[in-house]
Chain A
Amino acid sequence: MDTKNWAKQLPEDVRGVLEAGIQVSSPAGAKGAAWSALAAKLPVVAGAGVAASASGGVLALLKPFAVGLALGVVATTTVVGVQSFTRPAEPTTLTSRPKPSIEQPVARGRSQQPVSPSARTPPALPAEAPAKRSAAAPVAASRASASSASSPPTTPIPAATTFAVEEPPSATEHAALIETRRVARARSLLQQGQANAVLLNLAELDRLAPHGVLIQERETLRIEALFALGDYERARTEARRFIARYPQSPHLPAVQRALR
């Protein structure tokens, strides 16, 4: 069975559809937020998070193992808190691992594999990176570029119907729309008890619209989410900061709950 050339033989527009799926990746902030949440569930990880923060982040701990792994610091601001998290610029910096197999889709941009860290590799260390394949080399190159630390990650895009507008709104309108929707969504998620998802949404929003018009509401939601997660210390820290910054805010009652 031809596993190598099927995608290459697809019509260009069909291949484009496949590429859209290939290029799905986690939104910025997701990795850090999930790690932060993991730290709350796994005590050993929590300890590592603090230690990593003190010694320069996860990168410091990965040095002996992640050979060739270039990490770009992604700001996670208050969402991650306990440690900075880093994001690998996967395909461009990973070296090829020759694997003579007729099944290996060599031309699919999946040849990016990290060098196995040999002697210093702990027993359970993964020997390869999950570099996504690409249906065509040029797209692989573009994805490599898109994965660099300085570029925004490819974000999953759902169906078109959700974006069916009569006329494309301006960038400013987009920003206002996204902020309004995100905040409403975060509020809804909070009510559903999905505090982690709230933090994720807010982190993404911080990155997309750092100077939005609903900043106070966003901060309030973040404090409430932290509180809901049981991260009282961070909730209080954020709450004190909020009160100092917005002493007349209409959101003060909600914020002050975190201080009780």
Chain B
Amino acid sequence: METPRPGPSELEAFQALYERHFDFVWRTLRHLGVREADLSDACQEVFIIVHRRLPSFEERAKVTTWLFRICANMARDRRRLAHVRSEVLGDEAIDDAVRRRDPTTELERQDKLAAFEGALKSMSFDQRAAFILFEIEGLTGPEAAAALEVPLPTAYSRLRLARQAFLSAVQQARSEAPQRKARRGGTG
């Protein structure tokens, strides 16, 4: 039985993991429905758990798989507490618009992300998790199944349903896009 190794090496491992995977954790929590205002806190909570469990992390496991499970549990708990992301916040949209200095492009991007998030919302939590792992993070079937803690056929089944939901929701958003543009008074 290997004794957890406190001290510099463990700390360095934690820091390395934080550096490499912070964006992954942030993105995963966001896509799993954690509210923008809660993301920072949720990320911290995830990494506190990571820090606590790091000594028992099995080297053969894929770290993103392990992290995803922690994120999914965190997101699920927050949903249970009714912290589901139910609103959209405008700050980042405006930030990015400023950064890009191209409002037209930004509006298009914004529409796409709105459609993306709308599509995620049309999925069940399990489907959403499968979709994120396969289509956003690019995990393989066995990796995604491991992260979801379900048999491979189940993972594929969820992915199939998630894709259908995604396509359906995006197509609906596309059909509504001209009306939005008209309301906005935009061009094209």
Chain A contacts to B: CB under 8 angstroms:
1, 3, 6-7, 10, 13-14, 16-22, 24-27, 30-31, 33-35, 37-38, 41-42, 44-45, 48, 52, 58, 61-62, 64-66, 69, 71, 86, 88, 90, 99, 101, 103-105, 108-110, 114, 122-130, 132-133, 135, 152, 154-169, 171, 174-175, 177-178, 181-182, 185, 189, 194, 196-197, 200-201, 204, 208-209
Contacts and interface: CB of A to CB of B under 8 A. Distances in A.
A34 B119 contact: no
B22 A34 contact: yes
Given A130-B24, A130-B137, A133-B136, A157 B40 contact: no
Contact of A201 (B59, B91, B106): B91
Interface string B12-55: 11111111111110110011000011011101100110010011
B116 A129 contact: no
Interface residues of B, number: 93
A132 B88 CA distance: 23
Given A18-B116, A156-B113, A204-B95, A101 B140 contact: yes
B2 A123 contact: yes
A41 B106 CA distance: 38
Given A14-B170, A122-B9, A126-B20, A48 B114 contact: no
Contact of A126 (B16, B96, B138): B16
Nearest to B134: A3
Given A103-B141, A160-B180, A165-B184, A33 B40 contact: yes
B22 A31 contact: yes
B115 A17 contact: yes
Given A45-B14, A105-B138, A194-B37, 14 more contacts: A14-B171, A14-B174, A22-B135, A58-B15, A103-B142, A122-B9, A123-B2, A124-B14, A132-B136, A157-B92, A157-B106, A159-B117, A162-B89, A166-B184
Contact of B12 (A86, A122, A161): A122
Contacts, number: 288
A190 to B, nearest CB: 12
B19 A110 contact: no
B47 A48 contact: no
Interface in B117-170: 117-120, 134-138, 140-143, 156, 159-160, 163, 166-167, 170
A204 B91 CA distance: 10
Nearest to B37: A197
Interface of B: 2, 5-6, 9-24, 26-27, 30-31, 36-37, 39-41, 43-44, 47-48, 51, 54-55, 57, 59, 62-64, 67, 88-99, 101, 103-104, 106-107, 109-120, 134-138, 140-143, 156, 159-160, 163, 166-167, 170-171, 173-174, 180, 183-185
A26 B26 contact: yes
Shortest 4 CB-CB contacts between residues of A and residues of B = A133-B138, A130-B24, A162-B90, A158-B88
20 contacts: A17-B115, A18-B166, A20-B115, A27-B92, A30-B40, A33-B40, A44-B51, A45-B51, A64-B12, A103-B142, A122-B13, A123-B55, A126-B63, A126-B64, A129-B20, A152-B99, A158-B36, A158-B113, A169-B103, A174-B101
